[in-house]
């Protein structure tokens, strides 16, 4: 393993970008965290991403055995994620040029998300090395679970994902639920799917004592004796901040004197998303004084939000796993989440939190009230949440990924007469 060099590809969002804004989210955390721990094992990792600022420089030395390489493909700014397919050739060409000029040879490609997967598929054949691919989200699944106001994912994206399912040497998924999705929607070969659970930084995200919680609330301007519910993530329909806002309005309609405060930390994502739209919703529902909107925070500052909250709400319409839920539990905060995707794996129902069927604000208000009003259960769940989170660490994830890489390297690559189908 110590002699292995990996090319990771994360085209549309840099792992160094602040999660919670724009297109940066859980995938950024996943890529940087797994790469960091793989590098600690002695594996050399180069992460290729699209340059978005000239000040970034071409190469960022993140740590021993780990670099981020910024490839120029299209303008630095003003290019929406939906327009990035126009830059696939430029991005692939930039990687080839850099690797050639630096005399780099890689043992394996690990691509993340379908855009990177398409580039990785090309490089796989040019370099004649295996490709491991992680989708993170799937068009067919997002279209099934999207809210009625969300735009559907394109058929072009679904076709590109189908090509990757058919041609990547191994597919890494977060949960067995995701395996079932690949088989159902993409007719995937189960023998080429490997389940590797993501983790959390259990050294950073730790529970605080009463003094730490009090300090966190003072920093965030939250009343010390209020009950606090927090949302952390991108402000977009798919993540469900509107579900929480409407549920809070319903909760306060039932009990106007409830001492409740809500923290929503994140930035807008997508062409139609703005922080103002969610603030306007809160104002229209009469709860704007109970909700505080916070800018996206780096992980070291997110700890304060998790500790300040009595409950973390994750009302997403789908999650391949749910990193926010796991970080919250590691910080000693129970979670109320939608029963979708990998969230039933991330949250131990009845032990570390509650799961809600659907996104009806009334149902979410019921779940919030149940946990907010039962101090004994909530405190017990907070304690159990920490123990649950210890089963998920990035070091363990990286160790399993290293095993996947070894398996991929042992596979016989298809020759010209034995190629897999090139999509449908």
Annotated binding site for 1D-myo-inositol 3-phosphate: 12, 23-28, 81, 113, 137, 157
Extract the tokens encoding 19: 């999660």
Under DSSP, the state recorded for 120 is H
Extract the tokens encoding 285: 């529902």
C-beta of residue 115 within 8 angstroms of C-beta of residue 12: yes
Please enumerate, by residue number, every residue annotated as part of a binding site for Mg(2+).
306-307, 309, 333
User: Quick one: which of 93, 150, 80 has its CA closest to 119?
Assistant: 93
Spatial distance between the Cα atoms of 9 and 6, rounded to a whole number of angstroms:
10
Please enumerate, by residue number, every residue annotated as part of a binding site for UDP-N-acetyl-alpha-D-glucosamine.
18-19, 26, 234, 239, 297, 319, 327
Q: Which long-range contacts (CB under 8 A, 24 or more apart) does 88-96 make?
A: 88/11, 88/115, 88/118, 88/119, 91/11, 91/48, 91/50, 91/119, 92/119, 92/122, 92/123, 95/7, 95/9, 95/48, 95/69, 95/71, 95/119, 95/123, 96/123, 96/126
Strands (E), 127-282: 131-134, 170-173, 193-195, 227-232, 260-265
Spatial distance between the Cα atoms of 138 and 181, rounded to a whole number of angstroms:
9
- List the Cα angle 314/317/321 in 5-degree steps: 65
User: Quick one: which of 348, 419, 412, 339 has its CA closest to 380?
Assistant: 348
Residues 6+ away with beta carbon under 8 Å from 264: 230, 231, 235, 241, 244, 245, 278, 291, 292, 293, 294
Extract the tokens encoding 226: 């209020």
Extract the tokens encoding 271: 């062409």
Please enumerate, by residue number, every residue annotated as part of a binding site.
12, 18-19, 23-28, 81, 113, 137, 157, 234, 239, 297, 306-307, 309, 319, 327, 333
- Between the CA of residue 376 and those of 35, 113, 381, what are the distances in Å? 40, 42, 9
């Amino acid at each position: 393993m110590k002699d292995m060099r990996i090319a990771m590809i994360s085209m549309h969002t840099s792992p160094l970008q602040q999660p919670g804004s724009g297109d940066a989210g859980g995938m950024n955390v996943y890529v940087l965290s797994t790469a960091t721990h793989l590098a600690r094992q002695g594996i050399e990792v180069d992460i290729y991403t699209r340059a978005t600022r000239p000040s970034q420089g071409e190469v960022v030395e993140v740590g021993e055995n780990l670099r981020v390489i910024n490839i120029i493909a299209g303008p630095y700014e003003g290019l929406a994620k939906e327009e990035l397919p126009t830059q696939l050739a430029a991005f692939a060409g930039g990687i080839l040029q850099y690797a050639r000029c630096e005399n780099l040879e890689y043992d394996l490609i690990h691509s993340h998300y379908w855009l990177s997967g398409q580039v990785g598929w090309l490089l796989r054949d040019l370099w004649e090395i295996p490709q491991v691919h992680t989708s993170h989200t799937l068009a067919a699944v997002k279209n099934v679970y999207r809210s009625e106001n969300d735009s559907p994912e394109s058929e072009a994206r679904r076709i590109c994902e189908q090509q990757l399912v058919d041609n990547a040497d191994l597919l890494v998924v977060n949960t067995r639920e995701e395996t079932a999705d690949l088989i159902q929607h993409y007719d995937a070969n189960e023998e080429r799917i490997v389940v590797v659970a993501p983790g959390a930084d259990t050294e950073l995200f730790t529970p605080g004592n009463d003094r730490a919680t009090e300090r966190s609330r003072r920093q965030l301007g939250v009343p010390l004796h209020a009950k606090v519910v927090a949302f952390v993530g991108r402000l977009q329909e798919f993540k469900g901040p509107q579900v929480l806002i409407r549920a809070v309005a319903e909760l306060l309609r039932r009990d106007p004197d409830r001492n409740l405060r809500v923290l929503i930390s994140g930035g807008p994502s997508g062409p139609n998303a703005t922080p103002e739209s969610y603030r306007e919703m809160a104002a229209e529902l009469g709860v704007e004084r109970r909700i505080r909107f916070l800018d996206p925070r780096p992980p070291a500052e997110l700890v304060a939000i998790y500790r300040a909250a009595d409950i973390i709400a994750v009302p997403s319409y789908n999650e391949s796993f749910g990193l926010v839920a796991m970080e919250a539990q590691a910080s000693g905060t129970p979670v109320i989440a939608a029963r979708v995707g990998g969230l039933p794996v991330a949250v131990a129902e009845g032990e570390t939190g509650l799961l809600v069927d659907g996104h009806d604000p009334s149902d979410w208000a019921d779940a919030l009230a149940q946990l907010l009003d039962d101090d004994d259960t909530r405190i017990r769940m907070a304690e159990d949440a920490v123990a649950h989170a210890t089963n998920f660490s990035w070091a363990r994830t990286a160790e399993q990924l290293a095993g996947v890489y070894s398996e991929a390297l042992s596979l016989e690559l298809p020759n010209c007469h034995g190629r897999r189908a090139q999509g449908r």
